[in-house]
Structure 1
Amino acid sequence: MLKSSYNRDTEVQGNLILASITQVVVGGLGLIGLILRFVGPLTIAPTISLIGLSLTHVVSDFCDKQWGIALLTVALLILFSNVMNKVQVPVPSFSLKRKCHMTTLPIFQLFPVVLTIAIVWLFSYVLTELEVFPNNSTEPSFQARTDSRLDILYDSSWFQFPLPLPFGMPTFSAAGYMGMLAATLSSIFESVGDYFAASRFSEAPVPPPHAINRGIFIEGFASIISGLMGAGHATTSYSGNIGIIGITKIASRAVFVTAGVLLVLWGVVGKVGAVLALIPDPIVGGTLLLGLGMVASVGISVLQFCELFSTRNITIIGVSFLMGLMIPQWLIENEAIVKTGSAELDQVIKVLFGTASFTGGFIGFMLDNIVPGTEYERGLKRWVEVKGSQQKGDEATLYSFPVLTSILERMRCCGYFPLSPTFTSCRRPRHLNYDVKNENIDLKDVKTESAGEKSETMAQQVTDPQDPPGGGAGQVEGVVEGVMDQTVFYPVDTVPPVNLMILFGLQTQLIIRSITLSVSNTLSNG
């Protein structure tokens, strides 16, 4: 029995490593960055929102243990983070210049989660001592007791250093790899949604493709380490933690690096991890309720870039959200109905479309790119303008390497490396920044007068009787070029229909005047 268990462990370990290597390749080659060229708000919104909405059953399972404690947690979080967030609390401080002194800090804004957990945990302890919660472990409210998992604290060791390959050399199988690969692909798309949500909460620029490529690459690399250390799961971003950013208003990388170091140390000290495991389930559920709710609302807020009065957009939003929730539930209830003739392919389909964020985002992506609509209607124009404006100036350094970026900028070859901050895609969408002559002028900066006014000005220029001899043809050519540029490269909804008539009329007049000029020159030379 033990040998069979170890064989399963080594197979899980090996297939996790193999699937994680695939994720590293996907991030390293910049494949996700290429897909993002066709992604707009109608894809991002369901992807982010369904991350939070699809986990309602998880939150419900935690809160169901004791709804009173869970709702108290939610109430205190809202109170501290939204009502008392501006309250300045005097605290002792020390500096070399002022020595010991008193200063004020917005404690409730900085530590709403810590304060809430501490207060509710203490309240649960009092109720446990008063025997308000049942002693019977079969009762749901038993998990609200602070002593429900004390055995974890007693059984855990003080120090435990993990060693690589604890179950032996990893083994591989096609079926196991496909199963892990399906989970990995689903995790990749969910992580992309998490990145956009984190940038919204942090009020940071929208993550550029090279930053998303690095995120996927590092998640894959960390998952390889997880497999080597014998963990049965990969490493990925967690939506609940992103929701905590919105609650605490703390998004400093220094804070998260410090938190990561502390987690590594606490992972070695077993007693610390055991203490954190003692937090009653209803408190965890209340924290997740607010955190995942904020993630869902951030996804919905992305829709502000779209034209929400458009029947097209309303249809896409409704279908993607509803299908994103419905298809995973249908697959759970009808798991045996997916039969393609390949067990591995069946597993991939079940895992991918069993993930609400992937399903909703995929449907939104397909409909947004298939159903006709203008760039303004789809939200691409405003989305691109926001991304472009945010990537200028000092804010662009947020996604750059602290020291290496200046070196990489001098190496032109790094511009083709998808993980480099200097990476630029090989192709550029026309609506981003395009000029037919120099390709360096933004059309929205060039268009200083309305399309109708420009067409009227062009018509006046063509019919102006004061044209100098011999210059009419060149002037008409310039006018034709201007009208053609406006008709072809400007957004369709800003070009008046009269432009087509002017264009054909100008072309005809250009031909007649050119022929007349040629005949006149021939007769003069003759």
Structure 2
Amino acid sequence: MEKTDRCKKLSIFKEKPLDPERPGRIENLDVNCSPSLLLNIALALQHVLVLSSLCALVVDTLIQEVDKERIVAYVLFYSGISTLLQSWIGSRLPLILAPSLDFLIPALALLSSQSGTAVSCRGQCTEPEEPVAPAHPIRELRGMAVVAGMVQLAVGLTGLGGFALGHCGPLVLAPLLCILGFSIYREAALLCSDHWGMAALAVVLLVVLSQHLHSFLRLSVFSICRRLSVLLSVMVTWGVCAVLVHMGHVHLTSVTQMLSTKRNTSFIQSRNSPNSSDVVFSNDSVPWLDFPLPASALPLLSGRSIAAGVAGGLSASISSLAVYVVAARLLKAPVTPAHACNRGLCVDGLGSLLSGLMGAPVGLCSSVPNACVIGLSQSGSRSTVQLAGVFLLILGVSPQLAQMLCTVPLAIHGAVLAVTYTLAVATGITYFQHADGDSGRNIFNIGFTVFMSLALPRWFRLHSSFIHTGVPSVDIFLQSLLTLPVFFVGVLAFFLEHTVSGTLSERGLVRHEGTKKILSLANLQQGYSHSPDAVYDPPPPVMKVLDLSCLRTVPFCACRNPPVEDVSLTVPEMSSLLPDKDACDSSG
């Protein structure tokens, strides 16, 4: 009751530091604590702007300029529905669901196989002089999203996701999170190259507002600037860019224009084609109100779309599990339990299924930059992402409002992605400390995993013709998997960790004396500020539904909270793993 009253008294101008000895450190990481109304609205809008950066990258790369606003509205609408479901019955972490590279890379491989162009090389290969327009690109992309959703749903219902994460020690999570952050560097640089001056301005503002102001501003002002660092940086840079564009000093381009010097018709079928009514929208005007209704044509489940969907679904599942780890780490919450992971993956799958069936050409998974915003803003309230989900629904039913997000310069999107993804890299680096850094086994595993996960996907991306089995669907499947860094590093790190011999202490693990279960030191040594029940347990109505006898069997049992925790840690057990602080102080 006292905690609830404290949360209700939060205001924009009254924030208390967590640590009196560090007045610049402001934290409000309680997922159940709601900020004041105005601050909550601003934080929700900040999440929407960060999500729009991923939409700009994915949608601009796949869709023609003439259809971009309505496709963006579709993606935002189903992202809003999936976000609300995620925060209610899914993992319960304050996460936004959005399209990502896990769907963009297979989609480019799919479009490349359709048109015979080098789309998958992303501007680094020679294009044919006369590209051939694909037959049904939107329908096949939607088919890919549906298949990806089915894969995500299967991984969640079978419990494979929670099981895999439970067997990932620090030496699996560290390279996985590092590559998760590094995987966007080429795309972020591509967006920033639209105008490096605007990108640099946005980056400088982000760093100053989130990190430096506490040295010369009073606490309340710094608190607002840090919490809203992304929103303020985007708005200021956006305004400066609008003025320069109006004065004619800045010329902006699109992603597709940066990918190639000439616009080709390989991405989307031309409006003049006979089957254009099944593929693109026929109305050139952008309406104010347009509720996303089911598309007239069903998704096309070809062999190519199924192969791309399976690859995208597997990579998106690994990416979502990594995002759960990042969010829990930044929230100072316990590691995500298996049942919460499985529910979250099921919601991801339902979101991808729904978006593909209803007209969006990409699937959905937990957004990496939105999770990293928790670290930048030091605010992880669940009510904030729920409000952001409502805003996404409003934007989704109004293509005119969605068009406003499309006017944000690509350089600003690149700056937002570049800064936010760095927190995923930093979170991964923190896991190295829990293992033996002097172990030759660990040095080899870490170096080999990180290097190969960066080098091999790039090589396969540049030499897409190397994979030629004679079966197009198999070619797309292999090309997609081998050019997805997150999938590559996840499988490679997991394989090496469980095949190369090493002691538990080397690997950053410990055996619990009571249950004999192997636990990660990274989870035991983290100072939790929440209980697992407060973060991951669904609301009582959902709990009652999950407790029904019909849902206690396979496969639904994977999403249920076990009645008794497998491992219960006591204070003496946890303290025995760490050096006594008082003893260290006295010895010093």
Same fold (TM over 0.5): yes
Partner of 1:387: 523
Aligned match of 1:168: 297
- SS of the residue aligned with 1:378? coil
Please, which moves more after superposition, 45-54 or 375-384?
375-384
Structure 1 distance, partners of 2:575, 2:202, is 54
Contact 2:170 2:522 in 1 (8 A): no
Specify whether residues 319 and 198 from structure 1 end up closer, same or farther in structure 2 by C-alpha distance, changes over 3 A only: same
Contact 1:405 1:422 in 2 (8 A): no
With over 3 angstroms needed to count, the CA separation of the structure-2 counterparts of 1:410 and 1:33, relative to structure 1, is closer
Q: How does 1:149-168 map to 2 (within 5 A)?
A: 155-164=285-294, 166-168=295-297
Specify the alignment match of 2:534 in structure 1: 397
Structure 1, 4-13 or 197-206: larger mean CA deviation = 4-13
- Secondary structure of 2:405's counterpart equals helix
For the structure 1 residues 13 and 63, does the alpha-carbon distance in structure 2 shift closer, same or farther, using more than 3 Å as the test? Answer: closer
Any conservation in 2 of the 1:222–1:235 contact (CA below 8 Å)?
Answer: yes
> Partners in 1 of 2:290 and 2:406 — Cα distance?
17
Q: State the one-letter code of the partner of 1:213.
A: N
Map of 1:503 onto structure 2: none
Shift of 1:216: 0.8
Contact conserved, 1:178 with 1:344, CA < 8 A, in 2? Answer: yes
In the alignment, structure 1 residue 111 sits paired with structure 2 residue 228: yes
Q: Deviations over 1:177-211 (max 9, x none)?
A: 12211111111111111111111122222111111
Residue of structure 2 in register with 1:421 after alignment: 561
Contact 1:15/1:176 (CA < 8 Å) preserved in 2?
yes
Q: What whole-Å deviation, never above 9, does each CA across 1:255-302 have from its counterpart, x for those lacking one?
A: 001001111111112222111111112222221111111211111112
Whole-angstrom CA distance in 2 between matches of 1:239 and 1:28: 23
* Alignment counterpart, residue 314 of structure 1, candidates 431, 439, 443: 443
Q: Distance in 1 between matches of 2:575 and 2:447?
A: 37
**Shift, 1:422, TM fit:** 2.3
CA 1:261–1:85: 2 relative to 1, 3 Å: farther
CA–CA distance in structure 2, aligned partners of residues 134 and 234 of structure 1: 32
8 Å contact from structure 2 (residues 343, 559) kept in 1:
yes
Matched, 1:349 2:484: no
User: Any unmatched runs of 5+ in structure 2?
Assistant: 1-132, 259-283, 512-518, 578-588
Whether 1:206 aligns to 2:335 is yes
Per the alignment, in what secondary structure is the counterpart of residue 249 of structure 2? coil
Question: Displacement, 1:136?
Answer: 9.5
Quote the residue 2:245 is aligned against. 128
- Residue 360 of structure 2 is aligned to residue 231 of structure 1: yes
* Preserved CA contact (<8 Å) 1:414 1:423: no
Q: Distance in 2 between matches of 1:197 and 1:361?
A: 15
Match of 1:331 among 460, 466, 469: 460
Listed one character per residue, the Cα deviations across residues 57-110 of structure 1 (whole Å, up to 9, x for unaligned) are 1111111122222111111111111122584587xxxxxxxxxxxxx7821122
Q: C-alpha distance in 1, partners of 2:575/2:230?
A: 50
Deviation, 1:171, is 4.0
Deviation of residue 5 (structure 1)? 7.1
* Match of residue 424 from structure 2: 295
Distance 1:30 1:73, change over 3 A: same
Given the alignment of the two structures, is residue 45 of structure 1 paired with residue 174 of structure 2, yes or no?
Answer: yes
Of Structure 1 and Structure 2, the greater helix share is in 1
Partner SS state of residue 377, structure 1: coil
Q: How does 1:186-205 map to 2 (within 5 A)?
A: 186-205=315-334
CA shift for structure 1 position 341: 5.5
Q: Write the distance in 1 (CA, Å) between the matches of 2:251 and 2:546.
A: 64
Q: Name whichever of 334-343 and 19-28 sits farther off.
A: 334-343
User: Whose Rg is larger?
Assistant: 1
- CA drift of 1:119 comes to 1.4
| SS at 2:506 equivalent | helix
Paired AA for residue 121 in structure 1: W
Does the residue aligned with 2:301 lie in a helix, a strand or coil?
A: coil
Deviations 1:393-438 (A, max 9, x none): 734321001214775897798497111122779xx7xxx78xxxxx
Q: Aligned with 1:381: secondary structure?
A: strand
Q: Residues 337-390 of structure 1, C-alpha deviation per residue, up to 9 Å, x if partnerless?
A: 224554433322221221112212221111111111111110122963553687
* Matched residue, 2:382: 253
Q: Aligned partners of 2:168, 2:379: CA distance in 1, in Å?
A: 28
Q: Distance in 2 between matches of 1:8 and 1:446?
A: 58
CA 1:123–1:373 in 2, change beyond 3 Å: closer, same or farther?
same
Aligned-pair RMSD on alpha carbons?
A: 3.5
Q: Is this contact kept in 2: 1:10–1:168, CA < 8 A?
A: yes
Deviations 1:419-471 (A, max 9, x none): 1122779xx7xxx78xxxxxx999969999xxxxxxxxxxxxxxxxxxxxxxx
* Alpha-carbon separation, structure 2, partners of 1:441 and 1:136: 58
Tell me the amino acid that sits aligned with residue 158 of structure 1: W
Judged with a 3 Å threshold, the aligned counterparts in structure 2 of structure 1 residues 85 and 211 are, in CA distance, closer, same or farther, namely farther
In the aligned structure 1, how far is the partner of 2:245 from the partner of 2:466?
47
Q: Report the 3-state secondary structure (helix = DSSP H, G, I; strand = E; otherwise coil) of the residue aligned with 2:531.
A: helix
- Shift in alpha-carbon separation, 1:37–1:48, aligned structure 2, 3 A: same
Higher relative contact order (CA 8 A, sep 6+): 2
Q: Would the alpha carbon gap of residues 424 and 339 (structure 1) be closer, same or farther in structure 2, given more than 3 Å must change?
A: farther
Q: Could you state the TM-score of these two structures normalised by the residue count of structure 2?
A: 0.62
Which of 210, 215, 221 matches 2:350? 221
Q: Percent identity?
A: 28
| 8 Å CA contact 2:333, 2:530 repeated in 1 | no
1:26 aligns to what? Answer: 155
**Aligned: 1:372 with 2:489:** no
Aligned to 1:93: none
Distance change in 2, residues 1:260/1:420 (3 Å):
same
Work out the CA distance in 1 between the residues paired with 2:168 and 2:257. 47
Normalising by structure 1, what TM-score? 0.69
Amino acid in the other structure paired with 1:394? S
> Do 1:81 and 1:248's aligned partners in 2 also have CA atoms closer than 8 Å?
yes
- How far apart, CA to CA, are the structure 2 residues paired with 1:250 and 1:447? 32
2-structure distance, mates of 1:441, 1:106: 35
Kindly indicate whether the alpha-carbon contact (under 8 Å) linking 2:162 and 2:341 is maintained by their aligned counterparts in 1: yes
Instruction: Name the SS for the 1:308 alignment partner.
Output: coil
Letter in 2 for 1:61: L
- Alignment partners' CA distance in 1, 2:439 and 2:305: 45
Instruction: Point out the more displaced range, 194-203 or 221-230.
Output: 194-203
Q: Contact 2:192–2:411 at 8 Å: present in 1 too?
A: yes
**C-alpha separation between the residues in 1 aligned to 2:311 and 2:475?**
10
Give the distance between the partners of 1:407 and 1:199, measured in 2 at CA: 25
Answer whether contact 1:9 1:167 (CA < 8 A) is retained.
no
